[in-house]
Amino acid sequence: MYSRSVSATWDDSERNSLSEKIRARSNSGVRLDYYQRMVYKTILKYQDPVTGLFPGSCTPESKESWVRDNVYAILSVWALSLANRKNSDLDEDRAKSYELQQRCIKNMRSILTCLIKQADKVERFKKTQSPADSLHAKYGIRSLKTTVGDSEYGHLQLDAISLFILILAQMTASGVQIIYTLDEVAFIQNLVFYIEAAYRTPDYGVWERGDKTNHGQTELNSSSIGMSKAALEAINDLDLFGAKGGPASVIHCIPDETQKCSAVLQSMLPRESNSKEVDAALLGIIGYPAFAVEDADLLNLTRQTLVDKLQGRYGLRRFLRDGYRTSKEDSHRLHYQPWELKAFENIECEWPMFFCYLMLDAMFSGNTEMADEYWDALEEVVVRTDDGLKLLPEMYAVPQDKIDAEYLEPHSQDRVHIGRLPFLWGQSLYILCCLIKEGFVACGEIDPLCRRYVTEKKPDIVVQVVILAENDVVKEKARQNGIEIQTIQTARPVEVYPARVLSYIYGQLGKSWKLGLSGRPSHEVGTLSTSTLYQLHDRVIAFTPQFLDQEYFYLATDTNLLIDMFRTDISFLKSNWRMLGRPTVILEISERSFEEDGKLNPAFAATYRKCRTGYLHGARVMLGTLNEFLNTSCMYTLQFLGASTDSGKVKKSGEKDVRNYIDLLLLQKQAANKAQLPSSRSNKRDAPKRRLSRDLRSRAGSVVGIIRRTRSIQVDTTDPGMINIRSRQSSGDGLDQMGLPSPSGPPQPELFYSAPVDRPIFTQSPSVDEFPEVEVPELLDMLKQTESLGEQAEIIHYLYLTKGLNWDTRISSRGGSVRVTVADLVKELYDKSCQTKKWWLVRHSAGMLDKRVEDLARAVSDLLVHQKQITVGMPSDSEVTITRPLPPEELQTLIRGAYKKDNSTAMLTQELLMYLAMFVRTEPDLFHDLLRLRIGLIIQIMAAELARALKCKGPEASEYLLNLSPYEMKMLLHHILSGKEIGVREGDGAIGEENAVLTVAPLLQKNRRSGIARLRKSIQLSANENLMQIFNQGRLSTVNGLLSGTGDGGADGDSGSEDLPEKTGRWLRRRRLDGALNRLPKDFYPRIWRLLEKSQGLHVADMFLSPTLTNEMTPGELKFALHVENILSTVSQPEYRQLLLEALMVLTMLVEYEPKCTFTKPFYIKSLVRTAYQLFLTDQVAGNGDGTMCCAVELGGSDAQHDTARCGGAAGICLHFYDSAPSGRYGTMTYLCRAAAMVRCIISSSCSSMACFVHMDFLFRNYPCISPPHRLTDSWNATFRDSNAVQPIWFTLSSNTY
pLDDT tens digits, 72-128: 999 999 999 999 888 766 667 788 889 999 999 999 999 999 999 999 999 999 888
3-state secondary structure of 45: helix
Query: What's the confidence (pLDDT) of residue 714?
Result: 67
Q: Read off the pLDDT of residues 622-659 as tens digits, 9 standing for 90 and up.
A: 999 999 999 999 998 887 775 554 544 444 445 666 66
Rounded Cα gap, residues 979 and 258, in angstroms: 33
Average pLDDT over residues 338-367: 92
More confident residue, 61 or 685: 61
Q: How confident is the model at residue 283 (pLDDT cuts 50, 70, 90)?
A: very high
pLDDT at 390 exceeding the cut of 90: yes
- DSSP character string of 1074-1120: HHHHTB--TTHHHHHHHHHHHSS-EEETTEEE-TTHHHHS-TT-HHH
pLDDT at 409 exceeding the cut of 70: yes
Query: What's the confidence (pLDDT) of residue 694?
Result: 53
pLDDT at 992 exceeding the cut of 70: no
**Against a cut of 0.85, is the pTM above it?**
no
Residue whose C-alpha is closest to residue 1163's, from 1077, 1244, 1233, 1105:
1105
Residue whose C-alpha is closest to residue 867's, from 886, 883, 888, 887:
883
Max mean pLDDT among 343-357, 538-552, 698-712 falls in 343-357
Rounded Cα gap, residues 388 and 375, in angstroms: 18
The least confident of 144-153, 350-359, 640-649 is: 640-649
Q: How confident is the model at residue 1053 (pLDDT cuts 50, 70, 90)?
A: very low
Q: What are phi and psi of 504, to 5 degrees?
A: -65, -40
Query: What's the confidence (pLDDT) of residue 146?
Result: 92
Query: What's the confidence (pLDDT) of residue 56?
Result: 86
Q: Would you give the end-to-end CA distance of the chain in angstroms? A: 99
Query: What's the confidence (pLDDT) of residue 1069?
Result: 83
Max mean pLDDT among 476-480, 596-600, 957-961 falls in 476-480
Q: Read off the pLDDT of residues 1175-1205 as tens digits, 9 standing for 90 and up.
A: 888 888 888 888 788 887 754 444 445 567 7
Helices 903-922, 954-962: crossing angle, 10 deg rounding: 70
The least confident of 22-26, 932-936, 959-963 is: 22-26
Average pLDDT over residues 563-570: 89
pLDDT at 941 exceeding the cut of 70: yes
Neighbouring C-beta atoms of residue 693, cutoff 10 Å: 11
Rounded Cα gap, residues 1192 and 382, in angstroms: 75
Query: What's the confidence (pLDDT) of residue 781?
Result: 79
DSSP 8-state assignment for residue 681? S
Q: How far is CA 590 from the centre of its chain?
A: 32
pLDDT at 1007 exceeding the cut of 70: no
Residue whose C-alpha is closest to residue 306's, from 222, 382, 204:
222
Rounded Cα gap, residues 875 and 545, in angstroms: 37
Tell me the one-letter amino acid at 737. Answer: Q
Query: What's the confidence (pLDDT) of residue 817?
Result: 54
Residue whose C-alpha is closest to residue 1077's, from 1221, 945, 961, 936:
936
Query: What's the confidence (pLDDT) of residue 1110?
Result: 86
Max mean pLDDT among 352-361, 648-657, 822-831, 1060-1069 falls in 352-361
The least confident of 52-56, 585-589, 668-672, 1212-1216 is: 668-672
Whole-number average pLDDT of the chain:
77
3-state secondary structure of 292: coil
pLDDT at 695 exceeding the cut of 70: no
Q: Read off the pLDDT of residues 751-781 as tens digits, 9 standing for 90 and up.
A: 222 232 333 333 333 344 555 566 777 778 7
- DSSP character string of 212-238: TT-SS--B--HHHHHHHHHHHHHHTT-
pLDDT at 1151 exceeding the cut of 50: yes
pLDDT at 1057 exceeding the cut of 70: no
Residue 635 contacts by C-beta under 8 Å, 6 or more apart in sequence?
532, 533, 534, 535, 540, 581
Residues 1219 and 1066 sit within 8 Å (Cβ to Cβ): yes
